[in-house]
Amino acid sequence: MTRPSLRTAVVALATTLAAGASLAVAAPSSADSGAAAGPWSTAWAGSPVRGSTSTSTCPSAEGLTDRTVRNIVTTGAAGDRIRVRLSNTFGTSDLHVGHATVARQGTGASLQPGTLRELTFSGKKSVDVPAGAELFSDPVNLSVQELAHLSVSVYVPGSTGPVTNHRLGMQHSFLSGAGDHAGSRGGSGYPTSITCMMLVDGVDVVRNRDADGTVVTLGDSITDGAASTLNADRRWPDYLVRRLSALPGPVPAVANAAISGNEVLVDRVPDYFGSSALNRLDRDVLDQSGVRSVIVLEGINDIGAAGASAPSLISGYQEIIDRAHARGLKVYGGTLVPFMGSNGRFGGDYGTAYGEQQRLAVNRWIRTSGAFDGVIDFDKAVRDPADPSYMLPAHDSGDHLHPGDLGYEAMADAIDLDMILRNR
């Protein structure tokens, strides 16, 4: 059973997701407030995971008490008006938010002068987000450019328990000392840097040129930008934003729906690898604002971590395609990049003869089946012509699984922009 939308319902609705799953409650949403301002596009998405296995860079397991998190997020589109989506997707009780703001980032935890905006929810400064739900703020006027950094600050006066988060931020966010620092323009109240985003999983914009919807990138750590340069926006979806923004006329926004360690077929353990692509497809992809198309690059962890076969992955891809087509969306399939040499670090079937056999079979099907609306040959873009089972050294981050900055740029360069614009 697929997950119902949590964003469009005005009346709370509970539904059983799948056997053994908990109830998901749709929060009263302000998704329609400000609709007269124009169509919304998702400009940033931070696909959420359950708070677990805290580290010094992400205290998600114990959560927050009387503290403010200042999330730094990168926009995949320009706009003149924005709204922010709070997330309590994996909370076990209502989340009480006492104060929230948004601004353009200055240096570190500080804000650009004159850009601080108070966020309200149905006109109120504080709000309770029910367990299992997400909730949009009321719209605010704030202009942003492509690849702008926004500071989204959320203060929680009580205890959150394990906190819904996006674990691999690939840039520094900030955590305050005790108290409400959401309205602080300087950064001195935020002594701790973290590399996850907490309590927030989306920013929508009203476009400042003709809107052309949103393309969502569904993937794992390779789409999440693992091993790219921290704080530099060098994930391959970021490079795609750069290419699109250089074109004249309307282009789609780009929203990154990746989770590091994610799999297509199963909810991987531990929890911070996220729900499977099949189980999170509605929430993280199909229900995003303005979505018109999807780029799918996922499956390497199914093969490497779980020993999945090519036929089982192909069945999963076909379900993604069918469900997206039922919503009127185009789906583009990305071939799986080489991973030979990665077994010493990652184990399992990463870089084994069996794993390579499955990867090649999956890529053959992606290229030749005609099941996708278009194909992006990421494999060809980064592989070593002298030994195609390996990444080209210049494209390899060094762990033989994740590309580095140059590899991510090559992946974005392999995308046929005319295909995306033609098939929107």
Q: What tens-digit pLDDT sequence spans the chain (424 residues)?
A: 333 333 433 223 332 233 233 333 333 333 333 334 458 999 999 999 999 887 778 999 999 999 999 999 999 999 999 999 999 999 999 999 999 999 999 999 999 999 999 999 999 999 999 999 999 999 999 999 999 999 999 999 999 999 999 999 999 999 999 999 999 999 999 999 999 999 999 999 998 766 689 999 999 999 999 999 999 999 999 999 999 999 998 999 999 999 999 999 999 999 999 999 999 999 999 999 999 999 999 999 999 999 999 999 999 999 999 999 999 999 999 999 999 999 999 999 999 999 999 999 999 999 999 999 999 999 999 999 999 999 999 999 999 999 999 999 999 999 999 999 985 5
CB 36 within 8 A of CB 155: no
CB 201 within 8 A of CB 134: yes
Strand locations in 183-258, DSSP E?
192-194, 197-198, 200-206, 214-219, 253-258
pTM of the predicted model as reported, rounded to 2 decimal places:
0.92
How far is the CA of 244 from the CAs of 41, 76, 191, 253, 257, in angstroms? 15, 10, 36, 9, 18
CB 131 within 8 A of CB 92: yes
CA 196 to CA 376: how far, in whole Å? 29
